[in-house]
Amino acid sequence: MYMGDSSPPLSFLNHMNTPNFTTLIKDAELAAHSWNEFDIATLSCNEAFGLPFNAAKETLTNNVTVAESRKFDLSVFSGAESAFKFPDLETNIVVRVTRKPTAHSKLERIDDKIEQLEQKLKVAKIERKKLIEQLAVTGDVDMITDKINLAFTRLK
């Protein structure tokens, strides 16, 4: 409907009549109905296809990991001639290997510095949140709507 974003453009909102309670309830019921059908189909699809896919993916990942640990050349599974291209299934499996360095004292020092800075950032964010709350209570700032999200959950 709206490319890359589920919300309408602001110009749409400016020309729209303010919905009343009844309209919102009707819209919500339609959304609930659609979500219910989607959720049921998703669960069904996951049972039929998701569980077997995840099991097969986990097996392949484990086997590729074992092969790599035994110095198997994984480059045969990348590039234009990848052995993991299956044209009849219109599928290409991309193998991404993440590497990390072995321990080194210079790296430990910078890692410690990063950890300290991350802690300072965390404290600064907490201080900012407290300041916003204080300014809102005193009326020095107004709290305006930034975004509205909807969450659909199952009733128990």
Q: For position 17, what pLDDT does the model report?
A: 85
- Beta pairing class for 91-92 and 85-86: antiparallel
What does the pLDDT look like over 53-108, one tens digit per residue?
Answer: 999 999 999 999 999 999 999 999 999 999 999 999 999 999 999 999 999 999 99
Mean pLDDT over 145-149 rounds to: 96
Q: For position 9, what pLDDT does the model report?
A: 55
The rounded mean pLDDT for the chain is 92
Distance between CA atoms of residues 62 and 70, nearest Å: 13
Mean pLDDT over 102-125 rounds to: 98
pLDDT higher at 125 or 3: 125
What does the pLDDT look like over 32-63, one tens digit per residue?
Answer: 999 999 999 999 999 999 999 999 999 999 99
Alpha helices in the chain (DSSP H): 10-14, 21-45, 51-69, 105-138
pLDDT at 1 over 50: no
**Structural domain boundaries in the chain:** 10-138
Provide the 10 A C-beta neighbour count for residue 14.
7
Q: For position 13, what pLDDT does the model report?
A: 56
Distance between CA atoms of residues 106 and 112, nearest Å: 10
What's the half-sphere exposure (Cβ side, CA atoms, 13 Å) at 105?
A: 0
